[in-house]
Amino acid sequence: MKAIVYRATGDPSVLELVDRVVSYPGPGEVRVRIRVSGVNPTDWKSRRGAQPGEPLPFAEVVPNQDGAGIVDALGAGVDRFRVGDHVWLALAAYQRAHGGTAQEFAVLPLERVFALPEHAGFDLGASLGVPAITAHRALTVAEDGPRRLSPGSLSGKVVLVAGGAGAVGHAAIQLAKWAGAVVITTISSPAKAVLARNAGADHVINYTEADTAAQIRYIAPEGVDLVVEVAPAQNSELDLAVVRNNGCVAVYANNGGDHVHLDVRRHFSLNVRYQFVLLYTLGTEAVHAAAEDINAAVADGALAVGEQAGLPLHRFDLADTAAAHAAVEEGMVGKVLIDVAPA
């Protein structure tokens, strides 16, 4: 079978197309024929490492955490799936040398494989994983908010999504709307504003053109209940200006810098909660709860991809995985997908 591997950290050129023997699933494992692999910022960050040439935990690594495909074989003790089932994958490459989805067949532990709801395509399945689970976690960490998402679970809440044109922002908008929240999002261009509206945001604010805090306070005079934050270093002052008493800021990325300056006294006065979100260390229970809610939203038609749904798709062939990684690393707006096998 064809697979992409890298043997050292570095730029996209370290990615190689190789031939590998198809592995058989062991007990509690599932083999999936990958149709579509999704590329996320975490994938290129793992590949690049802290510096070029940094030692890897394995002799070689197959990249990409997310994907979708068809169950091809079952290991002993697996009774949740049947051969031929359509599935989506999450955390495929985490702590596994050859688990990533940039290959024709992936063997994964059962807990990283999720049924793809009927009528959902592989493009959507490959776009869930990291973005949707991260968004779900960010939307369920507030002290007085729900721990699970369902229609009405965020009714009466105002959610601010920073960077609504990104993959996590897109998923957060759609999940929050499905759960009944009023959604405000910030973007940086008219083109991104169109995408955020297509995703379903109620209010879209271009932060390069206006007094963002004043506009948010006009929409939510008492302040927003929850901020889904992608750039805390840049947005900490804005978040403090618009969050309500006992509100929550859920931080899932470090865009714009690794260090955040917080005014302790002003945060004291509002009882603000900061919650940091990292998918890899959530634990199986939280990931599976998120996947169940995500599948419910997919089944309801509340999660969708494509430009008309606010997340343009950009396609690459498996042999062009290096170009796909470069596109994400360079900030391409939308979702980068790799067509691993023909439909």
Longest dimension (CA), the chain: 60
The torsion defined by the Cα of 173, 174, 180 and 185, in degrees rounded to 10, comes to: 20
Backbone phi and psi for residue 305, each to the nearest 5 degrees, phi listed first: -130, 170
DSSP state of 14: G
**Is the distance from CB of 114 to CB of 12 less than 8 angstroms?**
no
Q: How far is CA 85 from the centre of its chain?
A: 23
Helices then strands, each counted (H, E), the chain: 10, 15
* Structure tokens given for 125: 């399945």
Please indicate whether the domains covering 2-127+311-339 and 132-279 agree at the CATH topology level: yes
Burial 247-259 (b: 16+ CB within 10 A, else e): bbbbbbbebeeee
**Is the distance from CB of 132 to CB of 175 less than 8 angstroms?**
yes
Neighbours of 152 (CB within 10 A): 11
- pLDDT the model gives residue 41: 96
**Is the distance from CB of 212 to CB of 231 less than 8 angstroms?**
no
Per-residue pLDDT of the chain (343 residues; tens, 9 = 90+): 999 999 999 999 999 999 999 999 999 999 999 999 999 999 999 999 888 878 898 999 999 999 999 999 999 999 999 999 999 999 999 999 999 999 999 999 999 999 999 999 999 999 999 999 999 999 999 999 999 999 999 999 999 999 999 999 999 999 999 999 999 999 999 999 999 999 999 999 999 998 999 999 999 999 999 999 999 999 999 999 999 999 999 999 999 889 999 999 999 999 999 999 999 999 999 999 999 999 999 999 999 999 999 999 999 999 999 999 999 999 999 999 999 987 6
Predicted confidence (pLDDT) per residue in 88-120, tens digit: 999 999 999 999 999 999 999 999 999 999 999
- pLDDT the model gives residue 25: 97
Give the residue extent of every domain in the chain.
Answer: 2-127+311-339, 132-279
CATH for 2-127+311-339, options being 2.60.40.10, 3.30.70.1290, 2.60.120.330, 3.90.180.10: 3.90.180.10
So what CATH class is 132-279?
alpha beta
Amino acid at 180: G
Predicted confidence (pLDDT) per residue in 136-156, tens digit: 999 999 999 999 999 999 999
> To which residue do tokens 């031929």 refer?
84
- pLDDT the model gives residue 343: 62
Q: What pTM does this model have?
A: 0.96
Q: What is the CB-side half-sphere exposure of residue 174 using CA atoms within 13 A?
A: 30
